[in-house]
């Protein structure tokens, strides 16, 4: 649910991207950062 919301926010702010490739790269970067953040939180809470 939260991940879909983050992508929707990116989509709303994507008017400045020149192509879908840049938009896709931004989503993948965000996913990588999001997953590393989740791993850190899970590690600290264990």
Give residue 17's pLDDT: 75
Distances (CA, A) of 33 to 5, 17, 28, 36, 38: 15, 20, 9, 5, 9
Give residue 6's pLDDT: 81
Give residue 34's pLDDT: 62
Give residue 43's pLDDT: 55
Domain boundaries, the chain: 2-45
Distances (CA, A) of 41 to 7, 29, 31, 38, 45: 21, 18, 15, 5, 6
Which of 28, 37, 1, 36 has its CA nearest to residue 10?
28
pTM of the full structure: 0.50
Give residue 9's pLDDT: 81
* pLDDT tens, position by position, 2-44: 778 888 887 777 777 788 888 888 888 887 876 655 555 555 5
């Amino acid at each position: 649910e939260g991940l879909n919301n983050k992508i929707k926010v990116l989509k709303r702010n994507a008017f400045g991207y020149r192509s879908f490739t840049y938009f896709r790269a931004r989503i993948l970067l965000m996913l990588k950062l999001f997953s590393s953040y989740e791993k850190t939180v899970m590690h600290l809470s264990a």
